[in-house]
């Protein structure tokens, strides 16, 4: 069912507001659209299967510690499987020139410098 004209305008306004007010969130969500990291996915599946085997082994030999360790390994495999790609690893072909120059500038700065830059951008954007 299509949206009414009023609903479409409200949706467009909310989208513009999101892009203007929360640019960090938008860039984090947009970065996920890069190529998936197949190597990490395969490693995650293998670690998950190893965890399931350890979990079942712990149940069969009735050793709770082995079962708990198997669960932890299985959980780590799932986390590896669903982890987002690292910035700059597989997205270098899709980056725009301005974003790649910003990421190069951020690599050389400290954590506090990055936080201060974000604070300044937010303050300048509102005022």
Identify the pLDDT of residue 90: 46
Structure confidence by residue, pLDDT tens digits, 18-46: 777 777 776 666 655 567 778 888 999 99
Torsion-angle region of 88 (φ positive above 0: left; ψ -120 to 50: alpha; else: beta): left
Output the pTM of the full model: 0.45
Structure tokens at 7: 């609903």
Give me the residue label for tokens 């198997």. Answer: 70
Q: Quick check: 81 and 44 in contact, CB under 8 A? A: yes
Structure confidence by residue, pLDDT tens digits, 52-103: 999 999 999 999 999 999 999 999 999 988 887 665 554 444 444 445 445 5
The closest of 67, 47, 49 to 57, measured between CA atoms, is 67
Residues 6 or more apart from 106 whose CB is under 8 A from it? 114
* Domains in the chain: boundaries: 95-127
The pLDDT-based confidence of 117 (bands split at 50, 70, 90) is confident
């Amino acid at each position: 069912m299509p949206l009414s004209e009023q609903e479409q305008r409200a949706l467009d306004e909310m989208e513009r507001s999101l892009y203007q007010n929360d640019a960090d969130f938008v860039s984090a969500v947009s970065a996920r659209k890069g190529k998936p990291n197949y190597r990490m996915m395969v490693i995650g599946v293998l670690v998950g299967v190893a965890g399931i085997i350890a979990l079942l082994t712990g149940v069969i030999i009735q050793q709770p510690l082995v079962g708990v360790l198997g669960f932890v390994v299985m959980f780590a495999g799932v986390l590896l499987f669903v982890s987002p790609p690292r910035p700059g690893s597989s997205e270098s072909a899709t980056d725009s020139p301005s974003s790649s120059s910003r990421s190069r500038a951020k690599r050389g700065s400290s954590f506090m410098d990055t936080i201060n830059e974000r604070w300044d951008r937010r303050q300048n954007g509102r005022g």
